[in-house]
Each structure stands twice: as structure tokens, then as C-alpha cells.
Amino acid sequence: MTAPRDSPPPTPPPPARAQALLDWFAAWQRDLPWRSAQPDPYAVLVSELMLQQTRVDTVKPYFARWMSNWPTPTALAAASTDEVLAAWTGLGYYNRARNLHKAARIIAADHNGALPRDRAALGALPGVGPYTLGAVRSIAFGQPEPLVDGNVGRVLSRWTASRLPATSTAGKKALWSLAQELMETPPARSAPGAWNQALMELGALVCTPKKPACSSCPVAEWCAAHAAGIADQLPVRKPKKPPKPVIAAYLLLMRDDGKLWCGQRAAKGRWAGLWEPPGVEGPDSASVLQATFDLGGEHEVLPTIVHVLTHRRYEVTPVLVRSDNAAPPLAPLGYVAERWISPAAAVASTSGFSRLGARLVAAAAAAGQDL
């Protein structure tokens, strides 16, 4: 029973691989605000929600402000939706803020203000999907729950040289299955939080999307993609669709004191609950805006603003109008509230404006100065 001489190096028993990675993590892990030997489960939940599809460095200042504003689930539960959204302004994917807020209210009402350790109860909280369930259970409670995020998917795809796209159904199934299996090996099972964070940290610091630093990798000798020299070609990605173009026109109605007439978007959909100057989407948006607000009189068309989201490319025509202090109703355009807002308040990062809304306000303020 001898292995053929030219076969890949024999794979050591899993515990050796796992221990190598755990040792690396112990030596090289970053000092992050939500990391602690005895983590606060609520802090873990907040950080994990903020980190969904968002980089660590982006999250840091938001996390600090959030924990300062609302140090406990009970404190967060008592906050208003507007306050919560304002604190999230600029972070994107605003439904995460709504979910965190709802989760806090459930925790306060049903769990005595403490995160439930129970798998089903935790997974039932809004915003807690498979990844976050694994993160909170393993990191906050030390429970042997696997997780797969973008980093782990990349690391494990390379480790096994998997040709399945990590985002495909089959690929995800294989990755979660492997993550589960790894979690059951002795060193991982004894340190679930460190193990999961080690996989993610490796993906963030060493096993990066481009130019992975295999020479610094603690588990390179067991990596199938590295052995085959294809680490930088994995994971296989699914072709992505181009962003959809959106034509829009926005009304910048400016009062004598410089304030702008703004509306709050509906609670569902893009920029849910956020404020912005009133706008219309569609190829005929400019004429619709014209008709809706009867812009026959004096108005100024400002330079087009291009605002790119992941799946949308906005081409916005801002129309500046001097108000005679009339305040047209915005409900017909789908807004659920309306008020005059000073440009300074709108552009401040705690205002509950979308980035596009803030850009429009800034454009209005700049143009208004020249008049």
C-alpha cells in the first residue's frame, strides 16, 4: 500500500492543517474593535450585519458610532427608525439597518434583552441568514457552527481546486458541506470562533482575490490550487450582467434661505426610508418632472450627474428652480413625507440621505451660490 511516487504530497490528517491555520491566526489576526476574548454577542451581531458585503475598514467608524449611540439591544430597540437610518447613512444596503433595528426589538421583547443562544431563535431574527447565524454562534457563543462568506468561499475553492462557481447553487452546497466537515475536526471544533475567523482572515490578508500571497500562506502545502499553479484563477466566477441604465430627473426647489424641498422615500425598495430631493425615473422623466411641477417659468438645468450602483447606472438631470415658498405635494411621486431641508443638514453624514440625494443637494447648493 504505497502511494505512487509522483502523486501529490500526501495529505496529512486534517488536525494538522487545522492547527497550522489556527496558529497562523493567533499570530497574525488584526486587532478589530468587535474582536475580544469574551465578545459581547450584541457587538458581534452589529458588526456582522454591517460587514455584510462591506469591507472591514469601511465599517470601523460606523461600528464605533453605533455602539456609542446604542450600547445594548434594549437601547437600540428604543430608537426611532429615522435615527437608525441616519446612523447607517453612507453604509449602503439600508435594509440591514431596518433588520438590525427589528432584531433588537425582538431581542428586547422576547429574549430579555440578550441575544438568544438557541439556533432556531437566532436564525429567526431579521437579517440573520446562514452566514450571520454561523458567525454569531461560533464567535459570540463558541458553538461549532460553520460559515461561508466570500473569503471562506475563495479559500476553500482554492484549497480543493474546485471548479464549481462559488456562487452557484451546487458550489455553495459543496462549500457549506466542506465547511461543516472542517468544523468537525478536533482543533476547529474546540475553537469554533477562532477557526471561522481564521478562514476569513486568511482570505482577507493572504488568500486574496488577485495575487494571492501563497508564499506567506500557512496551509499552502495542502492547497490543491497552489499545487496546480492556478490559485489566482479560482474561484470560477459566473459572468455578471452589466448595470442597467436609469434615466432620471430631479427637482431642486430652493427657497430664499437656501433650503430645499425634499421627500422621504417609501419603506420598501431602493434607498428605503431615505430622504432626497424629489425625482422621477424613466426615459421621459424630464418632461414628467416638467409637467408634474409646472416648470414653465424660470428654471436652470444643471450638469448631468452619473451615479453608479452595483446593478444600476443613474443618469440624473438636476433642475434647479427658485421657490416662491410654495411647497408642492410629493405624495404623487411616491414620497411618504416631505419637508424643507438645509443643504448643510442634508450633506452631513448623519442625515438619512442617500448618496445620490446628497450629491444632488450639494449640486443645488453650489449652483445656488452663483445666482
Partner DNA sequence: AACACGGGGGC
Partner DNA sequence: GCCCCAGTGTT
| Residues engaged in binding DNA (CB under 7 A) | 32, 35, 47-48, 51-58, 90-95, 99, 126-133, 135, 149-151, 154, 168-169, 197, 200-201, 203-204, 209-210, 237, 240-241, 244, 269-272, 307, 309-312, 354-356
Residue whose CB is less far from DNA, 117 or 322: 117
Residue whose CB is less far from DNA, 222 or 314: 314
DSSP string, 302-318: PPPEEEE-SSEEEEEEE
How many residues are there in the chain? 371
> Smallest gap, in angstroms, from Cβ of residue 352 to DNA?
10
> Smallest gap, in angstroms, from Cβ of residue 217 to DNA?
16
Residue whose CB is less far from DNA, 183 or 200: 200
Rounded Cα distance, 106 and 110, in Å: 6
Q: Is 262 helix (H, G, I), strand (E, B) or coil?
A: strand
Rounded Cα distance, 48 and 43, in Å: 8
Rounded Cα distance, 156 and 152, in Å: 6
Cell of 104: 433588537
Residue whose CB is less far from DNA, 97 or 108: 97
Dump strand ranges (E) for 108-188: none
Catalytic positions are 48
> Smallest gap, in angstroms, from Cβ of residue 263 to DNA?
15
> Smallest gap, in angstroms, from Cβ of residue 370 to DNA?
25
> Smallest gap, in angstroms, from Cβ of residue 268 to DNA?
8
What is the identity of the amino acid at 171?
G
Cα separation of the two ends of the chain:
88
Residue whose CB is less far from DNA, 47 or 162: 47
Q: Is 90 exposed, middle or buried (0-12, 13-18, 19+ CB in 10 A)?
A: middle
Rounded Cα distance, 75 and 107, in Å: 11
Rounded Cα distance, 82 and 273, in Å: 8
Residue 43: CB partners within 8 Å, gap ≥ 6? 34, 36, 67
Between CA 312 and CA 319, with CA 313 as vertex, the angle to 5 degrees is: 120
Residue whose CB is less far from DNA, 119 or 311: 311
> Smallest gap, in angstroms, from Cβ of residue 237 to DNA?
5
CA within 13 Å, CB half, 151: 21
**Hey, what's the torsion of the CAs at 216, 217, 222, 223, to 10 degrees?**
-100
Q: Is 221 helix (H, G, I), strand (E, B) or coil?
A: helix
